[in-house]
Structure 1
Amino acid sequence: MFEFRHQPLKALFWLYVSLDLVFTIALWTVLWVFPPMRPRRSWMLQRTLRTACARRLGFATFRVGPGFTVVGPPRKDADIARTGFVEIEGVPDELVPGEVKDMARINGVQPVRVGGYWYGERDKDGKHGQKAAPGEKVLYVLHGKHVCAGGTGHPDGIGYPYLTTSLLKASHGLLKRAFIPEYRLLTAAPFSPPHTAFPAPLLDALSGYYYLVHTLGFEPANVTVEGDSAGGHLAVAFVRALALLSDARLPQLGGALLISPTADWAGTHGPPPKESYTTDWVQPFISRDFIPRALVGTLPPATLAGVWLSPASRELRDEDAPALFRDFPRTLIVAGAAELTVVPMRTLRDRIAAGGGAETVAYREYDDMTHDFIAFDWCEPQRSEALGDFGRWLEGKPIGEGREATA
């Protein structure tokens, strides 16, 4: 793993991957020109090719290294005006729940000053980060790829600007702004020195929420957190931290949107459905021990199967779910029926329902959809359907009926 992380081997390997993809795509095109030959007959050829390429590039990532991205403050004022960047203070130590504080002490992390990006409406002078207007709602985005793929909320980043602006548009004016904190990324050996381990991203998520509520004056009930993929896992941990804190100074928020949340980093559900291996692209990320090591850091190994790192873990007792998932806000889980990790998402749905009642969580699977499909414009029409469901859920209306299954 990561045997080609050093130059010039890294450049030579990527050259090989690029040339290999050219020939492989040509072969795939011939092989999949007829729908019965495709992994999913309902897919168009473009979607089939894109999914296969993403999977192949994912495996290549674990040969050369993640390419971590830690975005700091832009140095030019013009850049700040364009990107919507702000710096925020670390959450006060007394507003960190005891369990989180204990994990932070073991892994040697603490609240720090971090940055973030504003999307959407600005004030009359064109400036971002303005105080909340009376009754204003806001989308709080915890982007995915928080462990090994260099996730960032920067407007020039890949994926998240498009997803964030799409969610704002789908809200039909209920959400005029979105804020994405640049939380600390994680890594592990062989990369040295390592960045930070859990709960560093969770501390930064709490810092961003504290900024929204106390600096800008948003009512907690008007904040909806969104997290996709690994960001979905972070969003669950964030909501649990607020429930565990039970502090009037940092109360529970109004809602949570979880898009393809990673809910079982420990892999306690066993092998994924075989038919999903050729229809999803996340196998490289769930079949390596790098991400679990990056999450755990110096915490006891058993922590990986605990509720903080694997909220859908089969090693947790079902009878403990009401206490572990109490006081969750209204939650919408968006999943793809063709995802490798869809079964843990169903378990997560059941756990949240056990903690707050079936009415707390709305869940929908979209037929033939892969991981994080809502972030890709080539996953139509299901992508638009999911965005429409989000808008209806935000308004308190029933969402469409999708293919649901029990674990």
Structure 2
Amino acid sequence: MRERGSLRSRSAASISSMTLRQISAVLPSDQAWGVWLSRQIVARIMDTFGPPLTGTHVQRVDTRTSDGRRVIGEWVFGHGVARTGPDSAIYFIHGSGFVLCSPRTHRRLASWLSHLTGLPVFSIDYRLAPKHRFPTAADDVRTGWDWLTHENGLAPERTVVAGDSAGGHLAVDLLLQSDIAHPAALALLSPVLDLTFALARTRERLRRDPAIRSADAFRLVELYCTGIDSTHPRLQLDVAAGRPLPATLIQAGGAEMLAADAIALAEHIRTAGGTCELEVWPDQVHVFQALPRLTPEARPAMRRVASFLSQALGDNAIDQAAG
């Protein structure tokens, strides 16, 4: 891995600092129009710099588990991936600060993972704050996992879990639950660990995040957590004292404040007895993997994620030329 990011990715970070960071500072997250506009801006960025791959097939899901819980999401099949009878799959949990995004905004990541691994991806469409507060998103993620592994007959050990940003927090919360049978592996992109953003603030003093201030990110996440003690065990995840997580790969950008969360999470996973590979990609922004038109490092990073997940399932057939 290079000691510095590419010139294109460093330029993108500088532009982001002059635009997106300033916009996020002035949009009022406590106003419905501010949340709506933030969602539109993020969706436009994702569509422009990370459009889905050609040949992607999407199958919408809106169903219920046998005990009546509702599951909403979508199956994403990359080009050439079989659409019937999978015996392995990826469970994808998108990020959003619990507020902003959806499977639609993250379809590039899902379709890319599918294409690179040859596996279908189920992307859960969990309900968002501020309309739906804690623990709604976490409950929806649990319901999606139960539906995938119980109703669809997929053995947990033949699945892998991937998530980015707040989706990383939701993924870890899911796998810390004592009654959850673990998947073969876990891949996290710029995961949030500390919802108080104390770790992020420490990192921010050394280098400011080009996309958002820690104070603005905290206000966004508070829309999900408001009224709940920050020490609640489903919010302040005690990974180090919890059950060992499955083999984990964590990637973060060196330019983002959440690199501190990634580093801490990797340490906590190892303390608990799990194995974790940590990659901090120099000069990269938050979830840079979703923006291949913005940063060339997205492609090698995603090939690395796909290889890690496929190897965990015992399948090393990766299309290295994809994307």
Q: In the alignment, residue 170 of structure 1 is paired with which amino acid? A: L
Unaligned runs of 5+ in 1: 1-39, 70-81, 93-110, 188-194, 398-407
Determine if the alignment matches structure 1 residue 168 to structure 2 residue 114.
Answer: yes
1:62 counterpart residue number: 28
CA contact (8 A) 1:47 1:379 kept: no
Q: Secondary structure at the match of 1:308?
A: coil
Counterpart-to-counterpart distance in 1, 2:161 and 2:174 = 9
CA contact (8 A) 2:162 2:168 kept: yes
Match of residue 295, structure 1, among 216, 224, 230: 224
After superposition, give the CA deviation of every residue in 1:20-45 in whole Å (9 maximum; x if it has no partner): xxxxxxxxxxxxxxxxxxxx977454
Match of residue 276, structure 1, among 207, 215, 229: 207
Match of residue 323, structure 1, among 236, 241, 263: 241
After superposition, give the CA deviation of every residue in 1:213-267 in whole Å (9 maximum; x if it has no partner): 12211111111111101111111111112xx22xxxx522221111000111113
CA contact (8 A) 1:212 1:218 kept: yes
Q: In the alignment, residue 306 of structure 2 is paired with which amino acid? A: G
Determine if the alignment matches structure 1 residue 89 to structure 2 residue 35.
Answer: no
| CA-CA distance at 1:65 after TM superposition | 1.8
Q: In the alignment, residue 76 of structure 2 is paired with which amino acid? A: Y
Match of residue 210, structure 1, among 127, 146, 149: 146
Determine if the alignment matches structure 1 residue 178 to structure 2 residue 121.
Answer: yes
Counterpart-to-counterpart distance in 1, 2:197 and 2:64 = 35
Determine if the alignment matches structure 1 residue 152 to structure 2 residue 78.
Answer: no
Q: Secondary structure at the match of 1:184?
A: coil
Counterpart-to-counterpart distance in 2, 1:84 and 1:219 = 21
Counterpart-to-counterpart distance in 1, 2:60 and 2:259 = 35
Counterpart-to-counterpart distance in 2, 1:201 and 1:118 = 19
Counterpart-to-counterpart distance in 2, 1:229 and 1:377 = 17
After superposition, give the CA deviation of every residue in 1:130-168 in whole Å (9 maximum; x if it has no partner): 4x44xx22111111115222x111xxx33x111111122
CA contact (8 A) 1:58 1:284 kept: no
Q: In the alignment, residue 65 of structure 1 is paired with which amino acid? A: G
1:309 counterpart residue number: 235
Counterpart-to-counterpart distance in 2, 1:65 and 1:379 = 25
CA contact (8 A) 1:337 1:366 kept: yes
What TM-score comes out, normalization by structure 1 length? Answer: 0.63
CA contact (8 A) 1:225 1:235 kept: yes
CA contact (8 A) 2:16 2:211 kept: no
Radius of gyration: which is bigger?
Answer: 1
Closer/same/farther in 2, CA of residues 276 and 348 from structure 1, 3 Å limit = same
Counterpart-to-counterpart distance in 2, 1:88 and 1:122 = 25
Determine if the alignment matches structure 1 residue 338 to structure 2 residue 255.
Answer: yes
Matched ranges for 1:100-115 at <5 A:
112-115=69-72
Counterpart-to-counterpart distance in 2, 1:123 and 1:335 = 29
| CA-CA distance at 1:169 after TM superposition | 2.4
Counterpart-to-counterpart distance in 2, 1:50 and 1:223 = 35
Determine if the alignment matches structure 1 residue 265 to structure 2 residue 195.
Answer: yes
What TM-score comes out, normalization by structure 2 length? Answer: 0.77
Match of residue 253, structure 1, among 183, 188, 193: 183
| CA-CA distance at 1:210 after TM superposition | 1.4
CA contact (8 A) 2:138 2:173 kept: yes
CA contact (8 A) 2:73 2:125 kept: yes
Q: In the alignment, residue 35 of structure 2 is paired with which amino acid? A: P
Match of residue 200, structure 1, among 136, 143, 165: 136
Q: Secondary structure at the match of 2:203?
A: coil
Q: In the alignment, residue 145 of structure 2 is paired with which amino acid? A: Y
Closer/same/farther in 2, CA of residues 388 and 55 from structure 1, 3 Å limit = same
| CA-CA distance at 1:52 after TM superposition | 3.2
Q: In the alignment, residue 386 of structure 1 is paired with which amino acid? A: A
Match of residue 226, structure 1, among 147, 150, 162: 162
Closer/same/farther in 2, CA of residues 117 and 62 from structure 1, 3 Å limit = same
Which structure carries more relative contact order (alpha carbon 8 Å, separation 6+)?
2
CA contact (8 A) 2:21 2:211 kept: yes
Match of residue 384, structure 1, among 295, 299, 318: 299
May I ask how many residue pairs the two structures share in their alignment?
Answer: 286
Counterpart-to-counterpart distance in 2, 1:228 and 1:61 = 23
